[in-house]
């Protein structure tokens, strides 16, 4: 690590406005900036062009390269296909097949942007890796650790997707957009610089599923048709046939393909029985959850009853809760008020005000 240059930074460029402006700001701050675009497109998808605003498609390379040329920084496209396939796509497919709803962006952050890209940065002699995330990374002298705080723009804050970073990763990360109060401020900088990405829309949905048809994508990845199964009520009575558990998520009402004469919601998914349990809206609310793979960014051991604010999905409003140790490294979260659609596979993230404490993966609602 002694050979790494603390003034050199590798920035992950997606071809979007956020990473473009982040690269500009870092250069303005005096860093030796190197732009890298991660080539993650599977061989079978070489002809894939991403949806407008996407960050995974081939055409985004041209946008990123033009920005790098404009900023006069080196730009490289690096092959991360194998890691992306294994750590993001395989995980995505496996989770859906197990009746869970994954968050591939969180996996991409952990394993690609802040693991594989950080390795590449170190190979290039750079101490830091940077992204266009809306979050603030600070050093806290009182505990001698790096911490993550929410962005000044609460609307754009992306700390929810950063909960599983390690202390070693965080101290090598720069996120210059965390100080901005709005996306409009960032777009204005891009416009003033004459960057082509200034008006580019935000990316939406899952970048590698180009038509948002998860079921079709999963069938193609597995090379087999998804098995149909039964809709049942909370007492186990058969209500009808579903088209495969990968097509459903907890709390879903639309697109069920079944009419029961009243609003009906997905309450639970049972991959063992291949059943989708339906119920009323009240059946979708729970007072707690169990979380696995829990990571605390700077916190050591905690005492049962620790009061935190929790988010159970991206952009959801934080809710007051208490944390308790459970068995085998799991953690139990009990909320003050019932939470709607606690979804296995999604992240539960813990905060103390604007300070990101950590989080885990939801295994079940309780």
Extract the annotated binding site for ATP.
12-19, 38, 132
Q: Which residue of the set 56, 105, 207, 310 is catalytic?
A: 207
- Cβ distance 356 to 159 under 8 Å? yes
End-to-end CA distance of the chain: 45
Binding residues: 12-19, 38, 132
Of 298, 297, 321, 318, which is closest to residue 308 (Cα–Cα)? 321
Residue showing tokens 């720069």: 174
Alpha-carbon span 250 to 362, nearest angstrom: 12
Tokens of 216: 């079709």
- Cβ distance 330 to 291 under 8 Å? yes
Alpha-carbon span 106 to 70, nearest angstrom: 30
Q: Is 310 a catalytic residue?
A: no
- Cβ distance 270 to 259 under 8 Å? no
Q: Which residue of the set 55, 56, 105, 108 is catalytic?
A: 108
Of 283, 281, 266, 261, which is closest to residue 232 (Cα–Cα)? 266
Alpha-carbon span 164 to 245, nearest angstrom: 27
Main-chain phi, psi angles of 324, to 5 degrees: -140, 145
User: Beta-strand (E) ranges in 53-192?
Assistant: 75-79, 126-130, 135-140, 145-150, 173-174
Tokens of 305: 């009853």
Q: Is 259 helix (H, G, I), strand (E, B) or coil?
A: coil
DSSP state of 315: T
Distance, C-alpha 37 to centroid of its chain: 18
**Burial annotation 86-110 (CB, 10 A radius, 16+ → b, else e):** ebbbebbbebbbebbbbbbbbbbbb
Would the CA dihedral through 96, 99, 103, 108 be positive or negative? negative
Alpha-carbon span 153 to 186, nearest angstrom: 11
Q: Is 55 a catalytic residue?
A: no
Which residues on neighbouring strands pair with residue 276, listed in sequence order?
231, 269
Q: Which residues are known catalytic residues?
A: 108, 207
């Amino acid at each position: 690590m002694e050979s790494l240059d603390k003034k050199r930074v590798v920035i992950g460029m997606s071809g979007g406005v956020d990473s473009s402006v982040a690269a500009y700001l870092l250069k303005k701050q005096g860093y030796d900036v190197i732009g890298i675009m991660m080539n993650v497109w599977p061989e079978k998808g070489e002809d894939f062009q991403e949806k407008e605003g996407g960050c995974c498609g081939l055409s985004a390379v041209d946008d990123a390269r033009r920005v790098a040329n404009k900023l006069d920084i080196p730009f490289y496209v690096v092959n991360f296909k194998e890691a992306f396939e294994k750590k993001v796509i395989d995980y995505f497919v496996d989770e859906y097949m197990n009746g869970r709803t994954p968050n591939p962006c969180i996996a991409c952050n952990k394993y690609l942007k802040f693991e594989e890209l950080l390795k590449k940065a170190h190979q290039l002699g750079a101490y830091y890796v940077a992204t266009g995330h809306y979050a603030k990374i600070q050093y806290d002298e009182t505990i001698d650790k790096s911490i993550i705080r929410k962005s000044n723009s609460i609307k754009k804050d992306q700390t929810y997707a950063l909960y599983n970073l390690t202390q070693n990763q965080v101290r090598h990360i720069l996120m210059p957009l965390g100080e901005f109060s709005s996306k409009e401020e960032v777009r204005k900088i891009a416009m003033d610089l004459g960057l082509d990405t200034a008006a580019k829309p935000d990316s939406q949905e899952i970048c590698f599923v180009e038509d948002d048809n998860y079921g079709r994508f999963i069938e193609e990845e597995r090379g087999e048709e998804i098995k149909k199964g039964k809709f049942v009520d909370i007492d186990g009575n058969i209500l009808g046939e579903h088209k495969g558990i990968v097509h459903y998520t907890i709390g879903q009402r639309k697109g069920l393909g079944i009419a029961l004469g009243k609003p009906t919601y997905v309450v639970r998914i049972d991959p063992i029985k291949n059943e989708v349990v339906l119920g009323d809206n009240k059946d979708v609310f729970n007072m707690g959850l169990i979380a696995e793979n829990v990571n605390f960014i700077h916190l050591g051991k905690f005492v049962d009853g620790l009061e935190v604010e929790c988010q159970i999905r991206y952009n959801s409003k934080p809710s007051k809760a208490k944390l308790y140790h459970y068995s085998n490294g799991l953690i139990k979260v009990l909320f003050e008020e019932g939470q709607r659609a606690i979804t296995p596979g999604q992240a539960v993230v813990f905060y103390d005000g604007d300070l990101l404490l950590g989080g885990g993966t939801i295994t079940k609602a309780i």
